[in-house]
């Protein structure tokens, strides 16, 4: 049987560092100041984000996100090769979403394979109506090119 013997220098520190009272007080003061700054920053962030959310400046219309996603699903049904499609981002410069009452008008671009198997860009438009907070009703989606 093999015994596990460790050299003595692994078990005891070879040199202990002893802080002076002045250095210890300075260290504690700095650590307390850092903890206080972090606390103030976190509380400030929570307060400011709460104020912005209540004022509406930091909120967005969830219906816009649903309109984008639902439009992509509906237009994908009209493609001959739906697995080949590459949609523009919903927040890209060439994509526009407008809201009038409960209606969303969504314009964007995509690339998809045509009958010859070539990737071609296409523009599409969708009109959707929001029935409740998470339910969009499809009205029409079509290609405009």
Name the CA radius of gyration of the chain, rounded: 31
In this prediction, residue 85 carries a pLDDT of 92
Q: Are residues 110 and 74 in the same domain?
A: yes
3-42 tens-digit pLDDT: 555 454 444 555 555 667 787 888 888 899 999 999 888 8
Q: Are residues 50 and 25 in the same domain?
A: yes
Q: Are residues 134 and 70 in the same domain?
A: yes
The dihedral sign for the CA sequence 114, 116, 118, 120: negative
Q: Are residues 95 and 134 in the same domain?
A: yes
Cα–Cα distance for residue pair 13/42, rounded to 1 Å = 39
In this prediction, residue 59 carries a pLDDT of 44
In this prediction, residue 64 carries a pLDDT of 75
Of 13 and 77, the structure prediction assigns the larger pLDDT to 77
Residue at 4 is within a domain: no
Average the pLDDT over 58-68 and give the result: 66
Domain end (from 12, 29, 55)? 55
Residue at 12 is within a domain: no
Q: Reduced to 3 states, what is the DSSP secondary structure of residue 123?
A: strand
Cα–Cα distance for residue pair 66/54, rounded to 1 Å = 22
Q: Contacts for 21-27 with beta carbons within 8 Å, 24 or more apart?
A: none
Residue at 73 is within a domain: yes
Average the pLDDT over 101-108 and give the result: 85
Average the pLDDT over 57-68 and give the result: 64
pLDDT band per the 50, 70, 90 thresholds, residue 123: very high
Burial of residue 128 (CB within 10 Å: 0-12, 13-18, 19+) is buried
Domain encompassing residue 91: 62-143
Facing residues of 114 across strands? none
Report field, pTM of the whole predicted structure over 0.75 = no
CA 80, 82, 86, 92: dihedral to nearest 10 degrees?
Answer: 90
Q: Are residues 47 and 108 in the same domain?
A: no
């Amino acid at each position: 049987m093999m015994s596990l013997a460790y050299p003595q220098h692994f078990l005891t520190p070879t040199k202990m560092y002893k802080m002076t009272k002045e250095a210890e007080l300075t260290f504690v003061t700095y650590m307390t100041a850092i903890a206080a700054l972090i606390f103030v920053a976190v509380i400030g962030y929570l307060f400011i984000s709460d104020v912005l959310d209540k004022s509406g400046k930091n909120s967005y219309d969830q219906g816009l996100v649903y309109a984008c996603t639902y439009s992509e699903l509906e237009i994908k049904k009209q493609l001959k090769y739906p697995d080949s499609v590459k949609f523009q981002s919903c927040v890209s410069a060439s994509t526009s979403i407008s809201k009038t009452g409960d209606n969303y008008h969504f314009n964007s671009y995509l690339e998809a394979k045509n009958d010859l198997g070539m990737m071609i860009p296409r523009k599409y438009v969708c009109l959707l109506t929001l029935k409740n907070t998470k339910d969009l009703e499809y009205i029409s989606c079509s290609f405009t090119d």
